[in-house]
Amino acid sequence: MIEINSFLLVAALSVVPVFGANVRADGPPPKVPRFSVQNMDPSVDPGGDFYRYAAGNWIKSNPVPSDKSRWSGFEELQERNWQLIRGILESSAEDRQATAKSPRGEVGDFFASAMDTNQLEKLGFNPINADLQRIARINSTKALFELLGEFHARGISSLFRAEVTPDAKNSSFYAFEVAQGGLGLPDRDYYLKDDFAQQRKDYGEHITKMLTLLGEQPGEAAEHAALVMEIETSLAKASRTRVELRDPNANYNKLSVAAFVATNSASGWTEYLKASNLRKLKDIIVGQPEFFIAVDKLSAVFLALVGLVGLPVALYASLPMRPVADGISGLPISAHACR
């Protein structure tokens, strides 16, 4: 069986956004998106198909690229912004006149360090050893939620989504909101519908590869990956559908912190809020209360799993990291680092 330690690590790693795919260093720069009447197709009756009337010529001239699932003016703008950002990063890294502590110098050094794949592979997992050791020391749900609070504060997503955002019913006030999450696949349907059986298989293989790179034997890693999928499937079953998430009132549930903690007493919410520097928080907006009730029930399962299987010593070894990136999309690791 998999210990909660591996689950936390896989959950954290599997949902980290990849900042770098799909922007090519060669080829012409993306077009500057702009409105033009040339994008319209006046041959189409606007009363019959207004979308084709308004954008028909653009659609004809802009087929969906082979490496994209969708394409529109918004994606064009995104691609151009990524290219502009990449230009800033590369020019900063090449600027020998920038002082080390200047914004340009720090940006350039940071980008150069991310692109130094030889050094990255030499370091392996050493830079995150402290986090791995913290995960290995988890021995209670309180410790689990304390670590989640620290991870979320550092931008490491896991188990559920948490953010500070303007209160949807009082925009002059910033509120702390928690919502369903913890899924490595796009949404609940990928876990529950037959249409996505292949994606589930591929995802399980990806988790297995990550655990193997962390030092587990292939058979052990496959067994643990299956249990990670089982946990995520439980979370998916408790998650709302995309249609249900469209209802702003149903997904706005403002509770006192005391009431929320009492309702989810098996979880370590007091420790989570302390670790998040939210000790004085009075109210919390809960997107999907039933999801957190499910998490609360799963907390007992997490606790039962703690310590059943010790993390292998090889977990802390310096291992090549390139296969993970290649396994995700077939792109070289440098492509993922420079979008």
User: What pLDDT is stored for residue 196 in this prediction?
Assistant: 96
User: What pLDDT is stored for residue 230 in this prediction?
Assistant: 87
The band of 25, judged by pLDDT with boundaries at 50, 70 and 90, is: very low
For residues 213-232, give the mean pLDDT. 87
Give tens-digit pLDDT for 161-180.
Answer: 999 999 999 999 999 999 99
For residues 229-258, give the mean pLDDT. 95
Angle between helices 289-305 and 218-237 (to 10 degrees): 150
- Write out the CATH class of domain 4-19+125-336: mainly alpha
User: What pLDDT is stored for residue 331 in this prediction?
Assistant: 30
Position 273 pLDDT exceeds 70: yes
The band of 227, judged by pLDDT with boundaries at 50, 70 and 90, is: confident
Give tens-digit pLDDT for 196-220.
Answer: 999 999 999 998 988 888 888 999 8
The band of 6, judged by pLDDT with boundaries at 50, 70 and 90, is: very low
Give tens-digit pLDDT for 97-119.
Answer: 999 899 999 999 999 999 999 99
For residues 69-74, give the mean pLDDT. 89
**What is the spatial order of strands in the sheet that 160-167 belongs to?**
160-167, 170-180, 283-286, 253-256
User: What pLDDT is stored for residue 339 in this prediction?
Assistant: 46
Q: Is 282 exposed, middle or buried (0-12, 13-18, 19+ CB in 10 A)?
A: exposed
Cα separation of 203 and 145, whole Å?
Answer: 26
User: What pLDDT is stored for residue 39 in this prediction?
Assistant: 93
User: What pLDDT is stored for residue 60 in this prediction?
Assistant: 95
User: What pLDDT is stored for residue 204 in this prediction?
Assistant: 92
User: What pLDDT is stored for residue 61 in this prediction?
Assistant: 92
Question: What does each C-alpha distance from 58 to 23, 100, 132, 242 come to in angstroms?
Answer: 22, 46, 50, 29
Cα separation of 232 and 190, whole Å?
Answer: 11
- The amino acid occupying position 264 is N
Name the pTM for this structure.
Answer: 0.71
Give tens-digit pLDDT for 28-64.
Answer: 667 777 889 999 999 999 999 999 999 999 999 999 9
User: What pLDDT is stored for residue 304 in this prediction?
Assistant: 55
- Of residues 286 and 127, more confidently modeled: 286
Cα separation of 189 and 236, whole Å?
Answer: 8
DSSP 69-130: S---HHHHHHHHHHHHHHHHHHHHHH-SSS-TTSHHHHHHHHHHHHH-HHHHHHHTTGGGHH
User: What pLDDT is stored for residue 300 in this prediction?
Assistant: 67
Average pLDDT, the chain: 81
Domain ranges of the chain: 4-19+125-336, 37-120
